[in-house]
Structure 1
Amino acid sequence: MSHAFFVTGTDTDAGKTLITAALIECANHAGYKTLGLKPLAAGGVQTPDGIRNEDALQLQQVASLKLPYRQVNPVLLNDAMAPHIAAAREKKRLSVESLVGYTRGAMMPSPKGGKADVCFIEGAGGWRVPLSPNQTTADFAKTLGLPVIIVIGLKLGCLNHALLTLEAVQRDGLRVAGWAATQVDPDMSVVQENLDTLKALLPDAYLGFVPWLDHATPALAAEYLQFDVLIPGAAAE
């Protein structure tokens, strides 16, 4: 049986990629074939293989099924800014239909590795980031129809952002499969109090809290997560 999840954040730089890559590491250790996709990314760096997005490269690296970069990240916008603005600057058009097509194609069984047991699709920014005048990343997630993982970046204002994101996901008819928190501000005070408040107000699907790490890696972050919240009995499957 295969499992797939859509990962969103309470904001840009909430820690989505770190949590997504860490969950892939967890699934790898549980014996699953894994896949991580970043269908839309804004912000590229020059590499020997051309312009690449660092978040997408990280997902490609940790996944056990090795897809070509163009399948992991089919839409890459050069500038790190709101996707619809970056696309307009490059005279490109973003659409939910094309993103869904790319994503479903990448999730098909590959000739070499077969089909992924667990797939994580990382969104761009927060839940309602515009893609065009009449479409947002929420429309992308709704069309896929997958359970959602919310990543909360702990900083001043995170409680409001978390509750609004939860409300929006549920209003759009999708199930919250789990939520995780990351400390994105190393100097944030009352971290534990904020985390306790989130636990009291959010669904009982707590994946874990990754504190501020000077040298964060997916493997290190995975040690703070409870993967069996997503797939009960995962280690035994």
Structure 2
Amino acid sequence: MARYFIAGTDTEIGKTTIAAGLLHAAARAGFTTLGAKPVASGCERTAEGLRNEDALALLGQSSLQLPYAAVNPYAFEPAIAPHLAAQEAGVALTVQALAQPMREVLAHQAGFALIEGAGGWRVPLAGGEYLSGLAVALELPVILVVGVRLGCINHALLTAEAIAADGLVLAGWVANVVDAQTSRLEENLATLSERLLAPCLGRVPRLPAATPDQVAAYLDLSKLERHCRLTALAERRAPR
């Protein structure tokens, strides 16, 4: 089973777009798939309750269909930082509270499962915790979505350092070109490839309609599988 935590270098850089593309690519490769968004703000009120566009997109690319509340257990209406939305709703948003429903999601043993974070790596939760602590609690390797625009190198490298400092594996990264007019685009991508110590799973251009099948065409899951296999082998060989 392949299971990963999807993180981003910032908010609004296409984490869900890339996650949906990865799920589509995995399904095309013959895997059962399952995506989850443990906490989401900016939800809309519907007849069925609060619904989040990102969580619905992940559900749409999941071959194992779970109830909405299972894949997005914490949904808040205001489009603000999740910890602030939770405070306003009187909810204690902690790593422990998020971890249990996500363990239940992973227990379905999909061949390829993704847990998507919110915002960047250090999104606050209650009690001085961070959403990154969920990835630590679940011991998930991380796929980093780099929103390619001015400043992305600094954001990507600092995020990679934080992931490593938290004791997690950066399994791969995706260059999502959110600003097609980024100056020195090729040079920026070359610098990221040189300095991020994980394989680039793909470079996704700015697409008029970034549907999961279109995004999947730019992604290479074989690099992800190979990197995780080599990492696991290195860990087994490391002296204790």
Q: TM-score range by the shorter chain?
A: over 0.9
Post-superposition offset of 1:49: 2.8
Answering whether residue 135 of structure 2 is matched by residue 136 of structure 1, we say: no
Deviation of 1:48 after TM superposition, in Å, equals 4.3
1:155-234 superposed matches below 5 A? 155-232=149-226
Q: Which amino acid aligns with 1:59?
A: L
TM-score norm. by structure 1 comes to: 0.92
1:116 equivalent among 110, 116, 139: 110
Q: 2: CA distance between counterparts of 1:165 and 1:42?
A: 22
* Matched ranges for 1:1-237 at <5 A: 2-109=1-108, 115-232=109-226
Q: Partners of 1:121 and 1:175 in 2: how far apart?
A: 15
Amino acid of the structure 2 residue aligned with 1:224: Y
CA change 1:223–1:133 in 2 (3 A) is same
Number of aligned residue pairs: give it: 227
Residue type matched to 1:200 in 2? E
For the residues of structure 1 that align with 2:180 and 2:191, how far apart are their CA atoms? Answer: 19
Identical positions, percent: 47
Whole-angstrom distance in 1 between the partners of 2:170 and 2:146: 13
Structure 1 stretch displaced more, 131-140 or 6-15: 131-140
CA distance in 2, matches of 1:232, 1:218: 23
SS at match of 1:231: helix
Over aligned residue pairs, what C-alpha RMSD do you find?
Answer: 1.4
Unmatched 5+ stretches in structure 1: 110-114
Q: Deviations over 1:147-168 (max 9, x none)?
A: 1111100111100000000000
Structure holding more helix per residue: 2
Mean Cα deviation higher: 189-198 or 94-103: 189-198
Unpaired runs of at least 5, structure 2: 228-240
* 2:37–2:71 contact (8 Å) kept in structure 1: yes
Normalising by structure 2, report the TM-score: 0.91
Q: Quote the residue 1:112 is aligned against.
A: none
Amino acid at match of 1:120: L
Indicate conservation of the 8 Å contact 2:50/2:76, yes or no.
no
Determine the C-alpha separation between the residues in 2 that align with 1:96 and 1:199: 32
Secondary structure of the structure 1 residue equivalent to 2:125: strand
CA distance in 2, matches of 1:220, 1:85: 35
CA distance in 2, matches of 1:28, 1:57: 17
Aligned to 2:175, the other structure's residue is in SS state strand
